[in-house]
A and B are shown apart, each in its own frame.
Chain A
């Protein structure tokens, strides 16, 4: 097949990049609104559900290899220190110990992405790695760790992001000139004239809003098991990105890509923190490579919460202006994200302020501040969850200052086009979503006395309703490949290099292939999570997995079907267009009669397997594809104790075609609960004087339990977006968490009649708000 190299544009977590991709063959036409589909669009239980409920599913942490050693890390207790001496002699001779790695014997082992040593002399945060003990058992490795003597020279530290950006602040990393992210520091965007916009406004508000560090707390920690057999380094790693893991491990160890195999069949959550294989995986690979024995290094919960990333805390300062009629004239945002000590990027907090509502005069400044804390990592819509919460809260303040209904105010400033890029959206159903969801939550009666005071004016309960809009990408993009194979028994195997991070990827890809191949779902097996299949897929993130990989799978299945029809046509001596495939059987279009099973034809070919390739084509040019949505939340606040209970959330998101309503609604519900946790309880707490996190555990870092769950009503739009990709799908992973914290914060403000200035809305904070003068 002829190949073409095409330049296309890909938006990933707010960053637009140009990408050159090889296209081979043609994608099938998009499944439009009228496409007759029988498996796609129906609720299907997970094809691997049985493994996941029976204890059979093998997670990274469950991998057991003969002769496997266990690694345990020793980590710095100081926010900033220099390691001057390490005495590991007692540990090295302790029972069962096979190796102790420190900066003095492994200091030249460098992280392939930033060239920082894994065992540094300078340790810029509490939880940075000092030593790694590899032993026959976990107990032996832990015991030996306690025998290592380390001399630390404490260094000045700073953990407050605003303090860190002051000229006289301690250097977070001694060799860096300042604590800002140097490359693009700060990142400024401007359109129109912000000064004029503020001058033209009849009403202005200034809002400072702070969001906390949220810890991913995936139930399975980061880690890996690695094995080197002299030919191949195999790494089982809890990752969202097997190909990224292969690249990182190969370059860290100086191996060729073809010498590394990365495997991830099941993982216990990632939420953005598990791109590549994390330093823990590279260290397991290093030790296995050096020792010639399998090594497993899984982090403890405490290590997980100190060194694998977090949603960066932000300080957002808005200066907004509007005309008396509600027209927004100015949006000015200064956002500081505390990104921790290392790491090379910062989250796009300003993305929604630039784009969500119509405004000619906009200025946003994003700053990333380094501090002596663990590095941040992507966390389910990084920057945008925080930015949406702050911006939507600020908008409610502006609406209140204008004495306007918050929803009416948003409708008034609806943005039909992508203002920052001056081009249309492929589709925007947000006004419809507003109507449907507002009706469902009962927006019109939100101020009714009996609704706001369920126990009467003197009772201790107040209720409120709030809302927030959502936007995100998630249309996917190239490169992504797939191979479809039809076997002699009429079943199919789909090979891809993607991974199922828990979202149901394996199931929806099987549905897509079964649809095109005319096979029952159980006759399609999807292989993924293994670089050995040699079929590249990108990492699973940005809500793009389905929309990137799904079209490649579909194209492979379509190509396989073409060949299958050709084969049947020649064997049955009937033209291909007279044959129809359904549920694993071949039918005559003319008579409707079954001509035999697919297997009965393939079986005549002595082991011939049909193999076809598919790939994700380029993205549409000249327009921006987005998911838009809205959530409304109703909350109840106990004014005696400050406790907030979320009663209901109504969610309406345009995620394009819904391939599997069951996995879709599961994503929406899961996103809402994570958003609820961020709004009400989740926060890393750092001791200011000591500079160390004090709740790096699940005892004092609270995540929602089943008791915190509200009623959730999902209004599915389920309409293919024909500009997105050949499936018409958009992502659903990140959209549902984006508006939840903002909607809850606005609902709490409504209940209290007080502005909300920070998350999480813990009982303590809510009572403090109640003690302030009423201003809303």
Chain B
């Protein structure tokens, strides 16, 4: 899919590469969109410039009322940041609704903005929050572009070929501001939006002083619902106002029919969604349902893995053993594991991040290995199903991870093809939360499709393993 894989060690080097490749290369970080696009022949390239070694760009912080997200801040970073949840709830909610946990560990918010689909979930909240982007290039230095001016047309941005998003920033919500993000998909998890909306309202007491309402999938780009925004100013959010605002939102939208939904459906649900969002903001229940401790499927610590310079030969540790994979720089981690490392326990179900069969751990994160360039494992460590028992502390050769034992005992396996990925996601959940509740299990496994079992016994097995682990720990 690509031939040259570059991993600059500094911002200056990254910008220099971008200048030299002059639009012929693509920037990659999490890779969850880029690899899907490349496999479908969208915006093809022979060269990837991986910016993940620029670890100084991985941050979410609040400074004097301004929330700043570095280019490498992931959706999980947004979810896990107390500043983001407190000062930008709609963004945190959007991050939580994106893809599956294995996507959220890797996918960056900046990347979501650059993909530039009107269905990208983080655009409406960031637009409603009044975000601006700091774009940098070797020749032009830094320029600031309001997000509202970033998208000139359908799937287009004003980002120049030699530019990189360095930072996303916006004012944190103040005491008198409340907001929410709502989304409709075709399924309860791992579904692209049919429509999504973000609301940010500023109040004088109970009266709306300012309203920012943004709509996704309702026009060629994410747009403001200007009519509704104007209508709401000076009003109290009683039931009639919420309902009327919903109806008026349809005047602001220009949806189309596509394979996820009809224009008519989008209009009709827009009204319901806007009204519901306003009701919840009015009642102060915008954060209802937000998990106290969201499941992330990654071990979060501050000792970030230092990415060593990459010179074409991947050197990595897989299941505790050192590997050199000389022919794998142009491959996904999935193909490198299977074809070069000879570890076929990790399965390919779809090769586009939709089924989870290829789930492995990379540097303590749960990832879809089909969406990770193998070179991102350089100088890192990978755990696959073949190493799960050992990673789970199995003492003897032949012992299994408690979750593997539980899957067998509970009959949670039929054909078994999805099971390696299911186990890697489930075992990471148990690391993160040894006694998960149903909701947490559903979240953790929502990115793993099983076509045989009906999932009930998988749920049973996670509970059974949890009991084994927590009781074993107590003993």
Q: Are A709 and B413 in contact (CB under 8 A)?
A: no
**Interface assignment of B453: CB less than 8 Å from any CB of chain A:** yes
- Bound CA span A300–B348, Å: 9
Tell me if B404 is interfacial: C-beta within 8 Å of chain A.
Answer: yes
Question: CA A671 – CA B423 in complex, angstroms?
Answer: 22
- Residues on A with beta carbons closer than 8 Å to the beta carbon of B415: 218-220, 266-269, 501-502
CB-based contact A764/B262 at 8 Å: yes
Is there contact, CB below 8 Å, between B414 and A700?
Answer: no
Report the minimal beta-carbon distance from B118 to chain A, rounded to whole angstroms. Answer: 16
CB distance from B261 to the nearest CB of A (A): 5
Query: Is B452 touching A269 in the complex (CB atoms < 8 A)?
Result: yes
Q: Are B354 and A219 in contact (CB under 8 A)?
A: no
Q: Mark B422-460, 1 if CB is under 8 A from A, else 0.
A: 010000000000000000011001111111111111110
Does B276 have its Cβ within 8 Å of any Cβ on chain A? yes
Interface-located stretch among A46-54, A112-120, A249-257, A327-335: A46-54
In the complex, which residues of chain A have a beta carbon less than 8 angstroms from the beta carbon of B455?
A: 669, 673, 704-706, 709
Within 8 A of A (CB), among B75-110: none
- Binary A-proximity of B388-415 (CB < 8 A = 1, otherwise 0): 1100000000001000100111010111
CB pair B451–A705 under 8 Å, yes or no, is no
Chain A stretch 121-148: residues in CB contact (< 8 A) with chain B: 137-139
User: CA of A57 to CA of B1 in the docked complex: distance in angstroms?
Assistant: 29
- Asked if A642 and B265 sit within 8 Å, CB to CB, the answer is yes
Chain B residues contacting A61 (CB-CB under 8 Å) are 344, 347-348
Provide the residues of chain A in CB contact with B189, threshold 8 Å.
705-707
Given A138-B335, A673-B454, check contact A706 B344 (CB 8 Å).
no
Check B453–A670 contact: CB distance below 8 A: yes
Interface string of A640-679 (1 = CB under 8 A from B): 1111000000000000000000110110111111100000
Residue in chain A with minimal CB distance to B335? A138
A53 near B413 (CB under 8 angstroms)? yes
Interface centre among A218, A762, A764 (most CB of B within 10 A): A764
Nearest opposing residue in chain B for A500, CB measure: B415
Decide if B192 touches A666 in the complex (CB within 8 Å).
no
Of the candidate stretches A421-429, A521-529, A690-698, the one touching chain B is A690-698
- Is A266 in contact with B454, judged by CB distance below 8 angstroms? no
- Complex CA–CA separation, A672 to B276 (angstroms): 32
Chain B's interface: helix, strand, loop or mixed, by majority? loop
Docked-complex contact A702 and B451, CB < 8 angstroms? no
In the complex where A46-B408, A763-B186, A763-B269 touch, is A52 in contact with B419 (Cβ < 8 A)? yes
Q: Is the CB of B191 within 8 A of A702?
A: yes
Contact indicator per residue, chain A 532-559, by CB within 8 Å of chain B (1) or not (0): 0000000000000000000000000000
The answer to whether B335 touches A694, judged by C-beta atoms less than 8 angstroms apart, is no
A706 touches B458 (CB 8 A): yes
Q: When the two chains form their complex, are residues B190 and A705 in contact, meaning their CB atoms are under 8 A apart?
A: yes
Within B1-50, the residues touching A (CB, 8 Å) are 1
Chain A residues, Cβ within 8 Å of B347: 59, 61, 219-220, 268
Scoring B357, B407, B423, B454 by chain A CB atoms within 10 A of each residue's CB, the highest score goes to: B454
- Kindly state whether residue A58 has any CB partner on chain B within 8 Å: yes
Given A45-B409, A503-B414, A708-B188, answer yes or no on A219-B446 (Cβ-Cβ < 8 Å).
no
Q: Are B417 and A219 closer than 8 Å at their CB atoms? A: yes
Question: Which of B259, B414, B448 is in CB contact (< 8 Å) with A670?
Answer: B414
Across the two chains, which residue of chain A brings its CB closest to B261? A764
Report A-chain residues with C-beta under 8 Å of the C-beta of B400: 50, 53-54
Interface residues of B in 164-201 (CB under 8 A from A): 184, 186-192, 194
- Which of B194, B262, B414 has the largest number of chain A CB atoms within 10 A? B414
How far does the Cβ of A301 sit from chain B's closest Cβ, in whole Å? 5
User: Do residues B339 and A52 form an inter-chain contact, with CB atoms below 8 A?
Assistant: no
Residues from chain B with a CB closer than 8 A to the CB of A697 are 350, 352, 354
| A275 interface residue (CB < 8 Å to B) | no
Which of A53, A64, A704, A768 is B404 in contact with, Cβ under 8 Å?
A: A53
Chain B: residues with Cβ within 8 Å of the partner, total of: 77
Residues of A near B414 (CB, < 8 A) are 502-504, 666, 670
Return the chain A residue nearest B259 by Cβ.
Answer: A685
Q: How far apart are B283's CB and chain A's nearest CB, in angstroms?
A: 15
Instruction: Give the residue among A53, A501, A671, A702 with the most B Cβ atoms within 10 A.
Output: A53
The interface centre, meaning the residue of B259, B352, B415 with most chain A CB atoms within 10 A of its CB, is B415
Give a binary string over B257-284; 1 marks a CB under 8 Å from any A CB, 0 the rest. 0011110110011001100100000000
A271 to B276, CA, bound (A): 41
Report the minimal beta-carbon distance from A237 to chain B, rounded to whole angstroms.
15
Q: Do A666 and B453 form a contact, CB below 8 Å, given A45-B411, A502-B414, A763-B184?
A: yes
A712 to B335, CA, bound (A): 38
Chain B residues whose CB sits within 8 angstroms of the CB of A768 once the complex forms: 264-265
A55-B345, A58-B344 known; A46 and B411 CB under 8 Å?
yes
Report if B315 contacts A (CB, 8 A): no
Interface centre among A139, A218, A268, A503 (most CB of B within 10 A): A268
Q: B349–A59 contact, CB under 8 A? A: no
Q: Are B330 and A53 in contact (CB under 8 A)?
A: no
Q: Does B359 contact A (CB under 8 A)?
A: no
Residues on A facing B (Cβ under 8 Å): 43, 45-46, 49-59, 61-62, 64, 137-139, 217-220, 266-269, 271, 300-301, 460, 501-504, 640-643, 662-663, 665-666, 668-674, 681, 685, 694-695, 697-700, 702-709, 712, 762-764, 767-768
Can you list 25 residue pairs at the A/B interface with Cβ under 8 Å? A49-B408, A53-B420, A55-B346, A55-B386, A59-B417, A137-B339, A267-B415, A269-B415, A269-B452, A504-B414, A665-B411, A669-B454, A670-B414, A670-B454, A673-B455, A698-B355, A700-B259, A702-B187, A705-B190, A705-B446, A706-B458, A709-B455, A712-B454, A763-B194, A763-B269
In the A-B complex, the 3 residue pairs with the closest CB atoms: A55-B345, A268-B417, A502-B415
Interface residue ranges, B against A (CB under 8 Å): 1, 184, 186-192, 194, 259-262, 264-265, 268-269, 272-273, 276, 330-331, 335, 338-339, 342-352, 354-355, 357, 384-386, 388-389, 400, 404, 407-409, 411, 413-420, 423, 441-442, 445-459
